[in-house]
Amino acid sequence: MKSKIINMVDRLKDSEELRLEAMFKSDPLPDLGFSKKVMTRVRRQMWIRRLTMPVALVIGGSIAIKPASDLVITVTKVFNALPSNLTSLAVDLPSLSVDSLPQMTTFLVSGAIALIALGFVRALED
Amino acid sequence: MVAQQDANAFGELVRRHQSQIRNFLRKLTRDNVLTDDLSQDCFLHAWNKIHTYAGRGTFIGWLLKIAYTTFLQSKRKSNRYHEILEEVGHVEDVNEERVSRDSDEISDLDKFLAILTEEERAVMILSYACGLSHREIGDAAELPIGTVKSIIFRGKKKIRESFEIKDHQYG
């Protein structure tokens, strides 16, 4: 109610107000393909949005698949060793090839590349 | 499918409001090409933020707020660009280009708007060209209502002091 009263007060016009309105008034602009251009950009953006996540997943997945599979293999080996004999595990662990363990740097680089890919796709979108 | 329907509905909104948004930006920028670029950006921002429109106030008020923000962002970028050009000594070319563009067509309204500051110009256009209430202008320009009223008062005073307001018809 209060805001309605304020709006009505705002709208009270004297002759100067009306003259200013007439001066600022302009004819409606014809569309001339403007809406079509906007909607083309909107639809393009929608497609890029839809593709962003799958593309990022494919890029990130293809980079991370090797270290991830190495990790799975190593963890499986460790879990297989555990139930048989905990004492022998202590002896067996050093025998596991160090090369088969996924390196932290590989994970970090993969993550960074995935993030950059995401950022790149977002930048393309913008 | 739902997204497609949303896009179609948004297309209708663009068709309905494009004239007001482009007229607002045209008065602010006085550059038709820049106006169309900024208007497109404005509608694209609106599409991305449509979920934030809570139905408080008019839709055109909300769109004009986005248009004004888009204009200010573009202005900031452009200022930075001119600073860089000044640093590398290309400022004369830019000024010549601006003069030739501005001197193409100077209407009465352009003369009126030229004596106002950028903020006064935006508020006066929102009030007299777009017909927004003081509250809506406050929302669009992120200013308190009292400030909006004093800006309009100051703008009118400047116009009154500089020109004799007659029955003008812009165009």
pLDDT digit string, tens, across residues B1-52 = 445 568 889 999 999 999 999 999 999 988 889 999 999 999 999 999 988 8
Q: Closest to A43 (Cβ–Cβ): which among B7, B133, B165?
A: B7
Please tell me the predicted confidence (pLDDT) of residue A94: 56
Q: Are residues B93 and B114 in the same domain?
A: no
* Main-chain phi, psi angles of A66, to 5 degrees: -65, -55
Report chain B's terminal Cα–Cα distance, integer Å: 43
Which residue is it, tokens 């949005």? A49
Q: Which two tokens stand for residue A36?
A: 């079509």
pLDDT band with cut points at 50, 70 and 90 for residue A121? confident
Best residue in A7, A15, A26 for a mutation probing chain B (most B CBs within 10 Å):
A26
Q: Are residues B19 and B93 in the same domain?
A: yes
What is the distance in angstroms between the Cα of A121 and the nearest Cα belonging to chain B?
Answer: 16
What is the distance in angstroms between the Cα of B114 and the nearest Cα belonging to chain A?
Answer: 13
Q: Give the pTM.
A: 0.66
DSSP label of B104: S
Q: Are residues B5 and B59 in the same domain?
A: yes
Structural contact between residues B95 and B138, judged by C-beta atoms closer than 8 angstroms? no
Please tell me the predicted confidence (pLDDT) of residue B102: 47
Residue B131 backbone class (left: φ over 0; alpha: ψ -120 to 50; beta: rest): left
ipTM of the complex as predicted? 0.72
Q: Are residues B90 and B113 in the same domain?
A: no
DSSP label of B125: I
Please tell me the predicted confidence (pLDDT) of residue B1: 44
pLDDT per residue over A4-46, tens digit each?
A: 555 554 555 677 778 888 888 888 889 999 999 999 999 998 8
Please tell me the predicted confidence (pLDDT) of residue A118: 82
Q: Are residues B32 and B110 in the same domain?
A: no
Contact at CB, B128 and A10, closer than 8 angstroms? no
Q: How many domains does chain B have?
A: 2
Please tell me the predicted confidence (pLDDT) of residue B20: 93
Residue A41 with chain B: CB contacts under 8 Å = 40, 44
The residue from B99, B119, B154 where one domain ends is B99
Query: In 3D, which of B52, B49, B53, B64 has the Cα closest to residue B133?
Result: B64
Q: Which residues of A57-95 are buried (b: 16+ CB within 10 A; e: fewer)?
A: eebbeebbeebeebeeeeeeeeeebeeeeeeeeeeeeee
Q: Closest to B168 (Cβ–Cβ): which among A22, A28, A35?
A: A22
Q: Are residues B13 and B29 in the same domain?
A: yes
A26 touches chain B (CB under 8 A): yes
Q: Are residues B82 and B124 in the same domain?
A: no
**At residue B63, does pLDDT exceed 90?**
yes
Q: Are residues B25 and B95 in the same domain?
A: yes
Q: Closest to A23 (Cβ–Cβ): which among B18, B36, B108?
A: B108
Q: Give the Cα separation of B74 and A86 in Å (integer).
A: 67
Please tell me the predicted confidence (pLDDT) of residue B54: 81
The residue from B99, B116, B150 where one domain ends is B99
**At residue B171, does pLDDT exceed 50?**
no
pLDDT per residue over B87-136, tens digit each?
A: 766 655 544 444 444 445 567 777 788 888 889 999 999 998 888 999 99
Q: Closest to A39 (Cβ–Cβ): which among B7, B134, B167?
A: B7
pLDDT band with cut points at 50, 70 and 90 for residue A90? low
Q: Are residues B20 and B77 in the same domain?
A: yes
A42 touches chain B (CB under 8 A): yes
Please tell me the predicted confidence (pLDDT) of residue B35: 93
Q: Give the Cα separation of A50 and A46 in Å (integer).
A: 6
Overall average pLDDT of the A59-86 stretch: 81
What is the distance in angstroms between the Cα of A51 and the nearest Cα belonging to chain B?
Answer: 15
**At residue A86, does pLDDT exceed 80?**
no
Q: Which two tokens stand for residue A101?
A: 């363990």
The residue from B55, B71, B99 where one domain ends is B99
Query: A37 vs A98, which has greater pLDDT?
Result: A37
Instruction: List the alpha helices (DSSP H) in B50-132.
Output: 59-87, 91-102, 108-114, 118-124
Q: Are residues B79 and B105 in the same domain?
A: no
Q: Closest to B18 (Cβ–Cβ): which among A11, A26, A31?
A: A31
Q: Are residues B77 and B13 in the same domain?
A: yes
Q: Are residues B76 and B5 in the same domain?
A: yes
Structural contact between residues B154 and B91, judged by C-beta atoms closer than 8 angstroms? no
Please tell me the predicted confidence (pLDDT) of residue A27: 86
* Segments forming the whole domain that contains residue B129: 101-171
Whichever domain contains B10, its CATH number is 1.10.1740.10
Whichever domain contains B160, its CATH number is 1.10.10.10
Contact at CB, A31 and B124, closer than 8 angstroms? no
Question: For chain A, how big is the Rg over CA atoms in Å?
Answer: 32
Half-sphere exposure of A45 toward its Cβ, with a 13 Å CA cutoff?
20
| Amino acid sitting at position A93 | L
Please tell me the predicted confidence (pLDDT) of residue A100: 55
Structural contact between residues B60 and B17, judged by C-beta atoms closer than 8 angstroms? yes
Residue B109 with chain A: CB contacts under 8 Å = 23-24
Q: Give the Cα separation of B122 and A20 in Å (integer).
A: 14
- Average pLDDT of chain A is 76
